[in-house]
A = this chain, B = another copy of it.
Amino acid sequence: MLDISEVSKRSGQAASKLRYYEEKGLIQSVGRHGLKRLFTKDVLERLALISLGRAAGFSLEEIREMFSKSSGLEINRKKLLQKADELDRKIQRMVSIRDGLRHTANCREPSHMDCPNFRRVLSAAGRGVIPPLEGISKNR
């Protein structure tokens, strides 16, 4: 059993964050000693996974979905694979954007918008990034 400061130390996460995560249902404490929360050490694994997800740009809510209405530590493997695929798509877009930045830095066209290369990259970057060439557009 670990108290919150122990978990904080071992996970590198602020205690306030751990309480916040518990409040949001991302982790659970298994009991109390007086007022003080007690955690089992598998919370550390859970926290590692959460950090992994956060680093990948997923919201806490999305991460919560990755864990089953779980019998303990069980992870929802299907959701996990879904997220991996999602991440794959993100990566594709980031590659395009990276190439777009490099291109923009090097291209000497007077206006980037006239460069087909640049326009292609914008379109790969995703929704709302591409101004239509001339005229009508979805506005919100």
Contacts and interface: CB of A to CB of B under 8 A. Distances in A.
Interface of A is mostly: helix
A11 B22 CA distance: 42
Nearest to A87: B98
Question: Which of A10, A48, A139: most chain B Cβ within 10 A?
Answer: A48
Nearest to A77: B105
28 contacts: A8-B139, A9-B136, A9-B137, A12-B131, A12-B137, A12-B139, A42-B111, A44-B113, A44-B131, A45-B111, A45-B113, A48-B113, A48-B122, A48-B131, A51-B125, A52-B97, A52-B125, A55-B93, A55-B129, A77-B106, A80-B102, A83-B101, A84-B98, A84-B101, A87-B94, A87-B101, A91-B95, A91-B98
